[in-house]
Amino acid sequence: MADIPCIQNLAMINENLKDDILKGKAMDILLLLLSGSKTVKEISKELDLPSFSIQLYIKRLIESQLIKVTEVKVVEGKVEKTYELASTDVEILNYLQENSKGKEETNIELSAQHFSTMTRNIIRNIDEFKHKPHKIKAYFIKSDEESVNEFKKELDALFEKYQEMEDVDASETYGFISVLAPYKLK
């Protein structure tokens, strides 16, 4: 019963998911799925929420076509489903290449759940490292879908070029974050 007030407070009852999708636990689930497919049990454990609450969010995320079921199996007599994002165009590089020196801290997994924290830290670090290369820009434009698809291809190529620049022996780490998506003014 403890999660009923929580669900009411998150406007999950008699509300449209699209109105609250970027708030609370629904967004946490989407960010968690950026790192790969998960079951309700895995999501519940990582977010420290009851499975029943996770199932309510999952149902509404599926209805909104933001996530999909990728596998159904029976485990200990119970049906277990695996979920992932519906779009393959959402990803976060979730590893650092192995350091040639073989240090223990290599191959660190970066949880997609910390995406907003990483973005915030990148912006905060600019003040401390003003003399280092940095650039933050945001543009909102009107354009046709064909032009944006062409730009998306160029952006993918730019990410590949960025990844190829990695020097595992370098002492500094840089973050490159891009978001390209339709935007609706309210």
pLDDT digits (tens, 9 = 90+) for 82-130: 999 887 766 655 444 444 444 434 334 444 445 666 677 777 788 888 8
pLDDT band at 10 (very low <50, low <70, confident <90, very high): very low
Higher pLDDT, 137 or 162: 162
pTM above the 0.95 mark? no
Q: Which CATH class is domain 3-85?
A: mainly alpha
Q: List phi, psi (to 5°) of 159.
A: -65, -40
How far is it, in rounded angstroms, from Cα 174 to Cα 127? 14
**Can you give the pLDDT at residue 38?**
93
Q: What percent of the chain has pLDDT over 90?
A: 23
How far is it, in rounded angstroms, from Cα 126 to Cα 132? 8
First to last CA, the chain: 36
pLDDT digits (tens, 9 = 90+) for 40-86: 999 999 889 999 999 999 998 898 888 899 999 988 888 899 999 88
pLDDT for 9 beyond 60:
no
- Span 152-168, mean pLDDT? 90
pLDDT band at 8 (very low <50, low <70, confident <90, very high): very low
* Identity of the amino acid at 55: Q
**Can you give the pLDDT at residue 128?**
83
Q: Are 27 and 12 in contact (CB under 8 A)?
A: no
Which H/E stretch holds residue 67? strand 67-75
pLDDT band at 154 (very low <50, low <70, confident <90, very high): very high
- Break the chain into its structural domains and give their ranges: 3-85, 97-186
How far is it, in rounded angstroms, from Cα 124 to Cα 113? 19
pLDDT band at 148 (very low <50, low <70, confident <90, very high): very high
pLDDT for 35 beyond 70:
yes
Three-class HEC string of 87-111: CCCCCCCCCCCCCCCCCCCCCCCCC
